[in-house]
A and B are shown apart, each in its own frame.
Chain A
Amino acid sequence: MEINKYCKTESINAFFNVLKEELVFSENTYAINLKNTYNAELVKKYILKETSCVDKKLLDSLKLVHLSEEVLDKKMNFLSSSEVLKVELAILLIKNVDCIVFDSFDKFFMEKELFFFKKLFKKLVKKYHKTFVFLNSNLAFFLEFADRIVVRKSKKNFLIFDKPTFYEEELLNLVNPPKIIEFVNYLRENDKKILPYTDLKELLKAIFREV
């Protein structure tokens, strides 16, 4: 299978080339990777060129990705990288694609917006059966979010973790643990009775009980 040629990177290609035999992806799969330069055309024109969409659907999609209507009158080359990513995502949502692939998604956003998008993606998965694939070296990004984690062990050897708890030894041997996992494991190594939490509030309560 080949990803539709929207825009793609080699890392995305490598991922798909190796995994196409093991995981099944829809033919309607698109990858988002930002171009290095955008022309000085209006966002409205850019979206129209890609989707021919001018109606309420366009405004709904912008709202969905946390962009205001005002963005339509801005020029593409004046947008910040996070705004460009949101525009590209809005286009794919208008196109109603089945599967979207992101490269280093978390590098574009601070905590609050990352939280917003995780919630949005979960909703789109649940309600509209969409699939989102994230290529990322930061395991913390996937905490309480990913249904499946695929780790590249060597060039052609991938390990698949379904419904990961994030405390799997095999997984943590391959990837740096998120800070909360690192801390809980450190406490457990030091004979503290702390369960394998992935939520800060739960961990706080447990520490309060233990100290």
Chain B
Amino acid sequence: MKKLFEIQDLTIHNKEKVLLQKVSLCFYEGVNVFLCGTNASGKTLFLKAIAGEKKYSGRLHKLCKVEVLLDTKLFEEETVMESLNYKTLDEKQKKIVNKFITKNTLNKKIKDINLESRKLLLICKSFLKQPKLLFVDNLFSYINEKMLQKIYKYAKSEKITLVNVSTNIEHSLNYQYMVVFDKGSIAIEGKTLQVLEQEKLLKRLGIGLPFYVDLSIQLRLYNLIDKVYCSKEELVGALWK
């Protein structure tokens, strides 16, 4: 697997205390990562350091084009078209825009579009920069499932690896790798299902489980099934063989 980005001992502190402590992570091409954590565990701070918005110590070794999409991003332009610089885009770029933004929305003022469309606009602007690794701070939580699948499909086709910082645990099943932050450091990381099976630790941290994973784990305790399933079809198939 091609390494895209390596983080070693990333540490951030203010005058009083350490906010992020020696975080080391590696990101690989095609391995999408779901990052979640307890409140104020340093998730957004971590992204801000990568974006160059926070002072840090440690080593960030970028081996490809990395983009960070923060949820606090403001729009300076008045219309959607202006925000995208639509008139200056080439045909290929316009095709990208048209995948995610309807013609109707394109012609609107930013203040007239809904929250989901605004988030989509930010995501679209990031895609136009053609990154190889894209960090997204909780923006996918605002996007409907159908559009989200479209985003995943597009990212896969363009070989864009996604790192999604999110509070929506249901989304974790769309990612191969999972990292959980707690109090400024990594509490647990690994393949998503393996992490989710650490049910007791996750619940102690106040992090729930995706519904089908939770149900599977409980049914396994009743000896009704012997493994964890991620969809209703699989689970019902296993229960009523």
Chain A residues with a Cβ under 8 A of chain B: 9-11, 36-37, 78-83, 103-104, 106-113, 137-138, 176, 178-180, 182-183, 186-187, 190, 192, 200, 203-204, 207-208, 211
Contacts and interface: CB of A to CB of B under 8 A. Distances in A.
A78 B77 CA distance: 27
A62 B141 CA distance: 27
Nearest to B112: A10
Given A111-B207, A180-B211, A211 B224 contact: yes
Given A110-B36, A180-B211, A204-B218, 9 more contacts: A81-B71, A107-B142, A110-B167, A110-B169, A111-B207, A112-B205, A179-B211, A186-B236, A200-B215
B239 interface: yes
B206 A113 contact: yes
B30 interface: no
A157 to B, nearest CB: 16
Nearest to B39: A82
Contacts of B206: 110-113
A118 B170 CA distance: 19
A211 B236 CA distance: 10
A171 to B, nearest CB: 17
A182 B40 contact: no
A195 to B, nearest CB: 16
Q: Can you list the 3 inter-chain pairs with the closest CB atoms, starting with the nearest?
A: A112-B206, A111-B208, A179-B211
A186 B240 contact: no
B40 A183 contact: no
16 contacts: A10-B112, A104-B141, A104-B142, A109-B167, A110-B36, A112-B206, A112-B208, A137-B142, A176-B144, A179-B210, A180-B211, A186-B232, A200-B218, A207-B219, A207-B224, A211-B240
B212 interface: yes
